[in-house]
Amino acid sequence: MAPTHRTLYAPDNKIQITAKASFADGSERDVTSQVVYEPSNNLLEVTPLGQVTFNKPGETTVLVRFLNRQEPVRLAFVPERVGFAWSPPTTQGMIDTMIFGKLKKLRINPSPVADDTVFMRRAYLDLIGLLPTENEAREFVTDSDPAKRKKLLNRLMEREEFAEFWALKWADLLNVEVRTLDPKGVQLFHGWIRDRIADNTPMDEFARSIISARGSTYTNPAANYFRAIRKPQELAEATAQVFLGRRLQCAQCHNHPFDRWTQGDYYDWASAFAKIDYKVLKNIRRDGLDKHEFNGEQVIYMKTSGSVKNPKTGKAAPARFLSVGQPVAAGYDPLREMAKWMTAPDNPFFARAQANRIWFHLMGRGLVNPIDDFRPTNPATHPVLLDLLATEFIASGYDLRHMIRLITNSATYQLASEPNATNAGDEINYSHAIPRRLSAEQLLDTQAQVADAPLPIRDHPPGTRVVQVANTIKEKRRRSKDDIVDVVLEAFGKPQRLLNCECERSDETTLAQAFQMISGPVLNGLLTDKANRLERLAKADQPAQQKLESLYWTTLSRPPTATELEAGLQHLNKAETTEAKRGRLEDIAWALMNSKEFILRR
In angstroms, rounded to a whole number, what is the distance separating the alpha carbons of residues 588 and 575?
A: 13
**What is the C-alpha to C-alpha distance for residues 396 and 355, in angstroms, rounded to an integer?**
12
**For helices 134-142 and 544-556, angle between their N-to-C axes, nearest 10 degrees:** 90
* Cα-based angle 223, 224, 228 (whole degrees, multiple of 5): 135
- pTM confidence score: 0.95
H or E segment to which residue 449 belongs: helix 440-451
**Predicted local confidence at residue 479, as pLDDT:** 74
Strands of the sheet containing 298-302, edge to edge, are 215-216, 298-302, 276-280
- pLDDT at position 477: 58
Per-position b or e across 86-108, b if 16+ CB within 10 A of its CB: eebbebbeebbebbbebbeebbb
Q: Treating both helix axes as pointing N-terminal to C-terminal, what angle do 203-211 and 350-363 enclose, rounded to 10 degrees?
A: 120
237: left (phi over 0), alpha (psi -120 to 50) or beta: alpha
Ordered mean pLDDT values, 10 residues apiece, the chain (602 residues): 94 96 94 95 95 94 91 94 94 97 97 98 99 99 98 99 99 95 96 99 99 97 95 97 97 87 96 96 72 85 95 96 92 96 96 99 98 94 98 98 99 98 95 98 99 96 97 76 92 95 95 97 98 97 97 99 98 94 97 98 97
* Rounded distance between C-alpha atoms, residue 472 and residue 183, angstroms: 11
pLDDT value at position 342? 97
Distance from the Cα of residue 75 to its chain's centroid: 27
In angstroms, the CA 368 to CA 519 distance is 39
CA distance 258 to 267: 18
Taking only the tens place, the pLDDT of each residue in 5-53 is: 999 999 999 999 999 999 999 999 999 999 999 998 899 999 999 999 9
Cα distance between residue 131 and residue 600, in whole Å: 12
Domains contained in the chain, CATH given: 5-80 (2.60.40.1080), 163-342 (no CATH), 437-601 (no CATH)
pLDDT value for 348: 92
Measured in degrees and rounded to the nearest 5, phi and psi for residue 317 equal -80, 135
Helix (H) or strand (E) holding 424: none
